[in-house]
Amino acid sequence: MSQQLLSRALVSRSWLAGALKKGQPGPALRVLDASFYYPPIRDGRKEFNEKHIPGALYFDIDECKDKTSPYEVMLPSESAFAKYVGNLGINNDSHVVVYDADQVGIYYSARVWWMFKVFGHKKVFVLDGGFRNWEKEGYPVTSEVAKPQPETYKAVLNSSLVKKFEDIQRNLSSKEFQLVDSRPAGRYTGTDPEPGEIFPGHIPGSINLPFTSFLTEDGFEKTPDEIQRLFQDKGIDLKKPLTITCRRGVTACQLALASYILGKEDTAIYDGSWYEWFHRAKPEQKVTVWKSEK
């Protein structure tokens, strides 16, 4: 692997720029803009239409989900995912690079990376530093939107990477896996509000390790040694089963990405996360200092 393929999961701006120069984006190389914002303080698709990496296509995470579920951005079915990415001109041999334009550097792109991994895709990477640093470093942008030819895609779900509500409930007593919550500390403890109509808090027994801990101030993924220390300092054993939760199964994917960089490929995500847990768990199964009158 070349030096500019930064890790097993990341590519650099210079690597992507060089790859785009060598050939037009197509089935062999697909670049996806996964910019999305919740709460909707920004419009990811509108910003994509205004400027994006040349040849990139917009991956709408709010479109590619289980629309029958009452819980936010749950995984779509195999057939729905296959149809969606196939219409983006992606096949099973495509080299997929995902980025987003969030100021933290890597946000929803980690979720899309994980979705591809869950459905068995081999060659999927995240652009380290995201669109923020691509643009800052003077790489080209465009408002021209490509029109891909549909490709055939076969998705095969690896169910071991996805935890359900019942799995988390069982784990409260069985302790089959370590459970880590990737939200900011205040939302985990309940001192800060949770977006929307639910109150903050966490699942009993979960450990808090905010996803932003893995990113530098400039929006890049920290080094493998730094990532290793972050897990170690929280007493998380990467040799043992690990599941990540957050609010809606998005920032949790940053920790799945980080552990993958260290060689751990079996980190699971609780897809429904706190949003589902809040609505389905018993009151005594929600740990919080939040007061409803706040």
What residues act catalytically? 246
**Looking up tokens 């169910």, which residue turns up?**
159
Asked whether the beta carbons of 125 and 10 are under 8 A apart, the reply is: yes
- The amino acid at residue 86 is G
The beta strands (E) that lie in 155-276 are given as 162-163, 178-181, 207-208, 242-245, 268-270
Asked whether the beta carbons of 152 and 252 are under 8 A apart, the reply is: no
Q: How far is CA 145 from CA 33, 51, 148, 191, 257, in A?
A: 12, 9, 10, 43, 28
Give the whole-angstrom CA distance, residue 283 versus residue 261.
37
Listed in sequence order, the residues at least 6 apart from 51 whose beta carbon sits closer than 8 Å to its beta carbon are 135, 141, 142, 143
Half-sphere exposure in the Cβ direction for 24 (13 Å, CA): 5
